[in-house]
Amino acid sequence: MSFNSFGHLFRVMTWGESHGPALGATVDGCPPGVPLSEADIQPWMDARKPGQNRFTTQRREADAVEILSGVYEGRTTGTPIQLMIRNTDQRSKDYGEIAKTFRPGHADITYWQKYGIRDPRGGGRSSARETAARVAAGGVARQVLAALAPGLSVTGYMVQMGPRLIDRARFDWDAIAANPFWCPDAETAQLWADDLDALRKTGNSVGAVVEVVARGVPAGLGAPIYAKLDSELASAMMSINAVKGVEIGAGMASAALTGVENADEIRMGPNGPEYGSNHAGGVLGGISTGQDVVVRFAVKPTSSILTPRQSVTIDGQDTDVATKGRHDPCVGIRAVPVGEAMMACVLLDQLLLHRAQMGEGLRGSIG
């Protein structure tokens, strides 16, 4: 049990607050001998970094990772890796007022009720800033995956912002990094830009759906009941700030399907079984099939908005709350690299679990 960790064998504990001196991740269980330096992690940090365009918060953080332990002469040693990110742009201001009211839809109130103490500076621990530490840990996971499962890749993108969905017919992997929304459909990206500009002007925010796909995942990862691959992914994605729903493959839509429609039919291909469809999202009975692992999650709209909403104070007085400051109008955008990081961490963890119980490779062959 750990309140702030995830993973079983590749285990990540994140720590730190939005406005403290630093935050980070302590990574335990990393295999030794894997090439790792700050430069390997930084690109993923930069992808999540705020203030890069007008669609994300204007807080300016270098988000520079420092590796304090667990690496010697450019390789992991198998001992804990401490990843520290200093906070540099935590503006000093008077939090006296904020500390006494609760933003509707924000963790302010539950933190207070649970702990009887909260760090109001930028939301403290409940800030989306915590996800920087996850992205750093995900960077380590990616390095290890590159060594252990060379063909495996993890890619995230946004498929919905507000009520507007992408057109899957225009899906283009190359478009994803070419717009500020990680959108695989360039045309929709342009419409989202217009949508979001309009929303920002009214002091409002909007939700989104992020999809993360892992290609090249070997069959056999997962376990029958509670360490199921899909169960682990659901837990991982739902642990990201503001996520309210998680789907694997056909997801919620599978409820409307019949068994005949939902069956991913199989035919023997040159390299083993091939599937005619992927309603399963690459997971059957909690175990990977070798198809793409497909996860989607919904990110609710940012609760810190300029439009006043009804709320109460710590003293039990009714009040109206409008949140000034630097906030993401669509926090879903920056959740894309975070979802990727969680996918990478879960897959690596499952790979190690599989290797523990089974040894290298699969046990059962087909054909």
The tokens for 49 are 């970094």
Indicate the angle between helix axes 332-358 and 38-48, nearest 10 degrees.
140
Q: How far is the CB of 84 from its own copies (least distance, A)?
A: 8
Total residues interacting with its own copies, rule: CB under 8 A: 167
Among 49, 118, 129, 334, binds its own copies (CB under 8 A): 118
Rg (CA), the chain: 21
Q: How far is the CB of 199 from its own copies (least distance, A)?
A: 7
User: Footprint of its own copies on residues 194-253 (CB under 8 A)?
Assistant: 199, 204-209, 219-228, 230-239, 241, 243-253
The C-alpha atoms of residue 79 and residue 70 are separated, in whole angstroms, by 5
The C-alpha atoms of residue 208 and residue 330 are separated, in whole angstroms, by 7
Question: Residues 279, 250: contact at Cβ < 8 Å?
Answer: yes
The C-alpha atoms of residue 162 and residue 174 are separated, in whole angstroms, by 23
Among 37-45, 54-62, 174-182, 265-273, which window interacts with its own copies (CB under 8 A)?
A: 265-273
The C-alpha atoms of residue 15 and residue 11 are separated, in whole angstroms, by 13
Question: Residues 223, 354: contact at Cβ < 8 Å?
Answer: no
Give the bridge partners for 294, in sequence order. 213
Does 281 help bind its own copies (rule: CB under 8 A)?
yes
Question: Residues 288, 347: contact at Cβ < 8 Å?
Answer: no
Among 40-48, 55-63, 155-163, 183-191, which window interacts with its own copies (CB under 8 A)?
A: 155-163
Residues 6+ apart with CB under 8 A from 189: 175, 179, 180, 181, 183
Does 77 help bind its own copies (rule: CB under 8 A)?
yes
- For residue 355, say whether it is annotated as part of any ligand binding site: no
User: Footprint of its own copies on residues 341-360 (CB under 8 A)?
Assistant: 352-360
Does 363 help bind its own copies (rule: CB under 8 A)?
yes
Residue among 60 and 114 whose Cβ is closer to its own copies: 114
C-alpha distances out from residue 254 to 176, 250, 251, 279, 329, Å: 27, 5, 6, 8, 31
Q: How far is the CB of 164 from its own copies (least distance, A)?
A: 9
Does 270 help bind its own copies (rule: CB under 8 A)?
no
User: Footprint of its own copies on residues 5-24 (CB under 8 A)?
Assistant: 5-6, 8-9, 11, 13-17, 20-24
Among 57, 126, 143, 179, binds its own copies (CB under 8 A): 126
C-alpha distances out from residue 92 to 95, 96, 118, 325, Å: 9, 12, 17, 12
- For residue 304, say whether it is annotated as part of any ligand binding site: yes
Does 289 help bind its own copies (rule: CB under 8 A)?
yes
The C-alpha atoms of residue 166 and residue 156 are separated, in whole angstroms, by 14
User: Footprint of its own copies on residues 157-196 (CB under 8 A)?
Assistant: 160-163
Residue among 5 and 42 whose Cβ is closer to its own copies: 5
Among 35, 60, 72, 170, binds its own copies (CB under 8 A): 72
- For residue 87, say whether it is annotated as part of any ligand binding site: no
Among 36-44, 79-87, 181-189, 333-341, which window interacts with its own copies (CB under 8 A)?
A: 79-87
Q: How far is the CB of 8 from its own copies (least distance, A)?
A: 4
Does 255 help bind its own copies (rule: CB under 8 A)?
yes
Question: Residues 50, 44: contact at Cβ < 8 Å?
Answer: no
Among 56-64, 169-177, 306-314, 333-341, which window interacts with its own copies (CB under 8 A)?
A: 306-314
Question: Residues 242, 335: contact at Cβ < 8 Å?
Answer: yes
Which parts are annotated binding residues? 48, 54, 125-127, 241-242, 285, 300-304, 326
